Amino acid sequence: MTIHIGAKPGDIAETVLMPGDPLRAKWAAETFLTESRLVNEVRGMLGYTGLWRGNRVTIHGSGMGMPSLSIYANELIRDYGAKTLIRIGSCGAMQSHVGLRDIIIAMTATTLSTPSSGIFRELNFAPHADWSLLRAAVAAAEARGVTTHVGGIYSSDVFYDERPDLNEVMTRHGILGVEMEAAELYNLALRHGARALAVLTVSDHLLTGAALPADQRQGSFGDMVEIALHAAFPGTA
């Protein structure tokens, strides 16, 4: 047990999928895993461990924003030995060629700050995805025929953003989409010798104001779970 995770030693798999929403963790575990069991429910942050085609996987919520994700990812890596962590979540598109329901696989994540900023100080560290996971996720997404974009994203600290000028700068520099967690996940994985990736589905569009209706979000979420599982276990049929 750690401060925020009630799982016993050995309850967490080496591979962890991290949706922001704990109820999405429950849905994904019930839908994709066999022999799944609840391993954490402290503060309602649900985590499940089970099997996907014989491979052991944990699906654990991260909460919203980098401070929340940082708590769970730190404890999963440092206390439970997680080695591969894949964020599955939504993002807002920042380019006109990116559409609703498209998948964005984040090569890097630009930020104003993360919980790691105190360490990096004057250094503009470039948090980046693990190459082997990135390559496998792109192959899995292409095999599913999902429109997929690979590139930089923006991990913001705020959802209700009062700095549209910054979004404009990001768009001008090719950033594909905005979310709120990936940069810190990448920082932590790089710091502790783990592998990380963020696979995102476009739920809204910053340039057009379009948004995916709530009833259509589950389908895109299922695609992401499958892409993440194939990326983690690329040999699995």
Annotated binding site for a purine D-ribonucleoside: 4, 179-181, 203-204
Under the binding rule (CB under 6 A), the answer on residue 70 touching ligand HPA is no
> 20: which residues sit within 8 A by CB, 6+ positions away?
61, 62, 63, 64, 69, 89, 90, 180, 181
Footprint of ligand HPA on residues 106-165 (CB under 6 A)?
156, 159
Out of 12, 28, 76, 180, the residue judged to bind ligand HPA by CB under 6 A: 180
Under the binding rule (CB under 6 A), the answer on residue 91 touching ligand HPA is yes
Phi and psi angles of residue 16, each rounded to the nearest 5 degrees, phi first: -125, 125
Under the binding rule (CB under 6 A), the answer on residue 231 touching ligand HPA is no
Question: Known catalytic residue: 215?
Answer: no
One-letter amino acid identity for 133?
Answer: L
Ranked by CB distance to ligand HPA, the top (closest) residue is 92
Instruction: Give the residue among 164, 136, 165, 158 at the shortest CA–CA distance from 226.
Output: 136
Tell me which stretch binds ligand HPA (CB under 6 A): 33-41, 85-93, 144-152, 221-229: 85-93
The distance of closest approach from Cβ of residue 78 to ligand HPA in the complex, given in angstroms and rounded to an integer, is 27
Q: Which of 102, 157, 204, 215 is catalytic?
A: 204
**Which residue positions form the known binding site for phosphate?**
20, 24, 43, 87-90
Return the active site residues.
204
In the complex, which residues of this chain contact ligand HPA (CB under 6 A)? 90-92, 156, 159, 178-180, 203-204, 206
